Structure 1
Amino acid sequence: MSQLANDTRVFKINPKIDVQNVRFENRYGFILAGHLYLPENFENGKKYAAIAISGPFGAVKEQSSGLYAQTLAERGFVTLAFDQSMTGESSGDRRNVASPDIFVEDFSAAVDFLGSQKFVDREKIGALGICGLGSHVLTAASIDVRIKAVATSVMYDMAESMWDGLNHSKTEAQRNKEKEYLAQIRWEEVDKGAQVGGYHELPFDENGNPVRSNKLLPEELPEGADPVTTEFFNYYVKRAYHPRSINSAHIWDATSPWGYYNFPLQQRIEKITQPKLIVTGAKAHSRYMAEEAYERLTDPKELVEVPNATHTDLYDQMDKIPFDKFEEFFKEKLK
């Protein structure tokens, strides 16, 4: 562990909360980069409840997950915000590749790390996934019973959105074209000997052909941009820009949908026996994904829909993120 140097977090820092740079390994050999937050008035010799936190999909620990980690540390938890494998400061020779299996494993590796700390009670470890990492954390909890309580915030099913499109909008013809596109991308990478960047949720032009790009979001928002693009732009490019964030400054490896097509997330979430808290925004474009997951979950479970909150409101708007509910849930379920 070490103290943060060259602190690049994009939210308001609480100087009373000790945060440390940490590194830990997952079972595939990737070295994950994390920020470990210790509660105010931390006591040596005391055993604390702990929460592993990651997301949104394509973000870094200096963005939303760090804000969640700091706020829950203010409320008495040891928290760990971390970058997924191959993203941010985590290792991986190939960069910005998304993988359902590896990203799910990253949560279990975070549990490994937290449980190895002498000040963490292994029987009181929870996990929280934001946005697309919400679907990964539920998948992790379906097998990793060391996660004693699991929560999501504006949960987004990445496998479903890649395969079926937002609001189930993708056609079979588009899926077939995407398969051809992914095959072409792989040949390009073979021939170039280098990665090719591209969208993880593939858009199509007016002629029905896949759209290419080397950056996820533009530097300037085009006139007439749709509400979802506008919302993500205002968070990642404007108020929470970070140079290591895929969503702020880069784009995913174009082959990223490959794994999600073959190995969809949340296949066995009905089997999660641990307590579950699903939080979403009443105005979030992802709301239906959270509701669909909630319907599949078994008791004990709770759904909270925040009035007048959009998807990215629950990334960083302190007057809308229901931290009282998260605190109540984890304190009750990890006691």
Structure 2
Amino acid sequence: MKFKLKALTATLFLGSSLLGANAMAQLPQNATAIEVPAQSIQLTQEWDKIFPKSDKVEHRKVTFKNRYGITLVGDLYVPKGATGKLPAIAVSGPFGAVKEQSSGLYAQHLAERGFVTVAFDGSFTGESSGLPRNTASPEINTDDFVSAVDFLGSLDNVDREKIGVLGICGWGGFALNSAISDPRIKAVATSTMYDMTQVMADGYEIKMEPNPKVPYERTSPMTTEARYKMKQDLANARWEAAANGYSLNGKAEDHLTPQDKITAETPRFVREYSNFYKTKRGFHPRSVNSTTGWNTAMTPSFINMPILQRAGELKAPALVVHGEFAHSRYFGEDAYKALGSKNKELYIVPGANHTDLYDDVNGKIPYDKFEQFFKANLK
């Protein structure tokens, strides 16, 4: 099956077409070859980001594959007029967002400051391929970052000895995990990070303080008994998911509270998320958080396969950026303490909550800090 993507043409085949004539001839007589339909990818060519296009960078849409054969789609940003081989940064996140939102904003700003950057959609989301849709995997999403490094290192204008990664929100954990596993990554930064495996296994370890001027108080993680009950519920729900090809997604209103359902009892961090993803400020039709819910069969893999288990072995320089009043601050503080890097820094943005570091609305994103970090360590 062939399909055109305007400027791009791709052919994706699974099943018997991969075997070839010789291999088919060698199959036992009682073997059965099954052809699985290919997945087409529709790429949007017009500028549809939540932020304006910069006249200081050159932009083009790119594709590359991860080691699972999933085609990832990204936006490549290059400083206008740049020559020679440049340092490069792969950017992704937040969890449930797309490259047209925060990651693209970060990538464009860093490109203005002299880096080749790629903001990409993770497997199964946005414009990237992968079935079923709207799912995630701690292993595959870590490899997405590593594969973005493969891609950047293949470019003529990139110095492959000067490649870093930057992960936002839930992709901050994947960025750290990729740097722990791949020494080619020379510097790693996170912004308002989550460890998605930790939150899915332990729940939110915070007291729901309603006052936005008061830092969240850390509480105890989920008990073993409560986690077992959650796993029972998830396992029972899998019967329906399996009967539907694992394609079921949760309801959008259950995933993230819409604006018209916000009440005085709504936790403040949920209000912050809704104010970004469910309003003109950050809405995007391809974003899981803006539209649909996550795949219903996704969570158990995050509970049982924690990332950052070898954080103490990280040697690359690391910058962990978080907001003073972010509900997620403890994820960054825990990760920072665990990282083995001799060159590491925890930078707290005064007065910022979690989503203040998603966009430029409140002017809280410390671009200067990220620029200084990457220029000091990608040299």
1:235 to 276, 283, 295: 276
Rg (Cα) greater in structure: 2
Distance 2:98 2:243 in 1: 31
* CA shift for structure 1 position 61: 0.2
Percent identity between the two aligned chains: 51
Task: Give aligned pairs, total.
Answer: 321
Counterpart residue number, 1:204: none
CA contact (8 A) 1:185 1:196 kept: no
Shift in Å, 1:307: 0.3
Cα distance, 1:195–1:26 mapped onto 2, change above 3 Å: same
Q: How does 1:167-316 map to 2 (within 5 A)?
A: 167=205, 168-198=220-250, 215-218=255-258, 220-224=260-264, 225-238=266-279, 239-298=281-340, 299-316=342-359
Q: Distance in 2 between matches of 1:215 and 1:127?
A: 28
Classify the secondary structure of the residue corresponding to 1:51.
strand
* 2:125 corresponds to 1:87: yes
Counterparts of 1:222 and 1:154 in 2: how far apart (Å)? 23
Q: TM-score, normalised by structure 1?
A: 0.92
Deviation at 1:16, TM superposition (A): 2.9
CA distance in 1, matches of 2:248, 2:285: 19
Aligned residues of 1:186 and 1:255 also touching (Cα < 8 A): yes
Residues 4 and 257 (structure 1), Cα distance of their counterparts in 2 relative to 1, 3 Å cut: closer
**Alignment RMSD:** 1.8
Q: Structure 1 unaligned runs (5+)?
A: 200-211
Instruction: Choose which of 102, 106, 113 in structure 2 pairs with 1:64.
Output: 102
Q: Which amino acid aligns with 1:296?
A: A
Q: Secondary structure at the match of 2:181?
A: coil
The one-letter code sitting in structure 2 at the alignment partner of 1:257 is T
Moved more, 49-58 or 15-24: 15-24
Matches within 5 A, 1:27-176: 27-43=67-83, 46-167=84-205, 168-176=220-228
Please report how far the alpha carbon of residue 269 of structure 1 lies from its aligned counterpart in structure 2 after TM superposition: 1.0
Shift of 1:93: 2.2
Deviates more, 1:213-222 or 1:32-41: 213-222
Could you list the runs of 5+ residues in structure 2 that have no partner in the other structure? 1-6, 9-42, 206-219
TM normalised by structure 2 equals 0.81
The C-alpha deviation readout for 1:293-333, integer Å capped at 9, x for no partner, is: 11111211011000001110011136211111100010010
The offset of 1:18, in angstroms, is 1.1
Q: Which has the higher mean CA deviation after the structures are superposed, 216-225 or 23-32?
A: 216-225
Question: Partner letter of residue 37 of structure 1?
Answer: Y
